[in-house]
A and B are shown apart, each in its own frame.
Chain A
Amino acid sequence: MKDEKELIERAQRGEMGAFRELVERYQKTVYFLALDLCGCRQDAEDISQEVFLKAYRFLPNFRGEARLSSWLYRITVNCFMDTRRKTQLQTLSLHNDAPGENHPPELSLPDPGADPSAPARSHELQQLIRRALGRLSPRERSVFVLRHYQELPLKEIGEMLEIAEGTVKALLFRAIKRLQKELAIYQAEV
């Protein structure tokens, strides 16, 4: 694997091949992060495209003080927040109980690549998890996804989202309590 620093420098000089290598290295990570955040494949693709467009535009300003992955995560969360603000993505929200607005996340549709013989229970569980995530506020969801799935330390999340570490903890705790409530039925069954 080529040295990332060297790739970044070449991309900063305008070498499209180097930029493409960086995109290939991170496109899945960014896409999956966007998917966890917005719960919808199409939106996740749009967000991840936007992330790399922004990365291309602002790469000359990237000084390498943070890891490239952290920088991309930060852009992803910002893009998600922007998209959320602009288009009011139709994900579930606890504060958004108006009729017609509670569409289940798109991931509840059968995954074309999924094994058709997979147990129905597993499919239900995936739906339940996505729905529970969709119930969190964008900030709670960002903090939860970054800590739980991306395994970033609380301090780093605080720096990334420009909020105090204490606020990250509070948001994360609130997110988990809300998930607990959402998953209560499932927990009672198991």
Chain B
Amino acid sequence: MTCKECRKRFVEARYGELNAGQRAEFEAHLQGCAACAAEYRRLQQTLRIMDQREQPRLESDFGDAFWDKLAAKLDAEDAPPAPRPPQRETPARVLRMFDWPRASRIAAAAAVLVIGVLIGRYFFSRGGEEIPLAGSRETLLQPTALEVRAGDYLEKSKVLLLGLVNWEAETPEAVALDFPRYQRASRDLLQEAGYLKTALEDSRQRRLRALVADLEVVLLQIANLEAENDLSAIEMVKTGVDRRGILLKINLEEIRRAQSLPRPGQTSGKPSI
């Protein structure tokens, strides 16, 4: 036994928690090692001092007083709550009274509705303003125009994903997810992703390209979902969005882009579109 091993066993030895074999080994080491023996003696001496700790004497009525106090608390717990004087409905009080889990479900349902409307506007009601799909333009856009197109793609993807991640099937307030519409939108965005990946290849926007690629995986999953009732598959998509931090990345990219755009009245060396 080494000194290190011996010292590791001090505690168990002192409290009698070594088996016979370990005990014999421990004692044999102490016999031959003056340093460990001295260290163990010091430990025992410390504990002998701690043994002299005295508990205070309790008053003779400690037990009764303790019970009386406890019984009063138990009575207070069992008693029906006393009627409270009417209180002014301050905003903070109203907030406290609010049923937050229910409120959050309603908010989520409302968000899905709003996002559904936005999806409709973005993807299907814009007539001539629809995104030109891959191959529909004969030439590559200038870098700044490409950024605008990428921004448009990110914004639409974000709206779509928000609708999906906020949707909860098992709540009474859940609204039906317009599944075919989500899938059509995903397929359109996939075509755009294919174009952007190629177009961004030559630019220095590796981060943006990586984000487009991340989104492409999720959009592909949505486009290939077989049934709108396949809740586990929808959950898998939601988990994927969460795990990859896609919404956060989109937000960061939007912030980065907003910061790099010239403010009104600000002259910029960058060429305008």
Contacts and interface: CB of A to CB of B under 8 A. Distances in A.
A113 B59 contact: yes
User: What range describes how many residues of A lie at the interface?
Assistant: 35 or more
B79 to A, nearest CB: 14
Contact of A176 (B11, B55, B62, B69): B11
A62 interface: no
Contacts of A28: 58, 62-63
A125 B51 CA distance: 11
Given A107-B56, A154-B12, A173-B10, A187 B74 contact: no
A56 B12 CA distance: 36
B50 A129 contact: yes
Nearest to A181: B46
Contacts of B12: 154, 169
B63 A24 contact: yes
Contact of B17 (A53, A112, A114, A153): A153
Contacts of A186: 49
Contact of B46 (A35, A45, A180): A180
A139 interface: no
Interface residues of B, number: 31
A67 interface: no
Given A126-B54, A149-B53, A176 B70 contact: no
Nearest to A52: B70
Nearest to A168: B11
B45 A27 contact: no
A187 B50 CA distance: 11
Contacts of A126: 53-54
Interface in B10-57: 10-12, 15, 17, 42-43, 45-47, 49-50, 52-57
Contacts of B42: 180, 187
Interface of B: 8, 10-12, 15, 17, 42-43, 45-47, 49-50, 52-59, 62-63, 66-67, 69-71, 73-74, 77
24 contacts: A20-B67, A20-B71, A27-B66, A28-B58, A28-B62, A52-B70, A56-B74, A113-B56, A113-B59, A129-B49, A130-B53, A133-B53, A147-B15, A148-B47, A149-B53, A153-B17, A154-B15, A176-B10, A176-B47, A179-B47, A180-B42, A180-B43, A183-B46, A187-B46
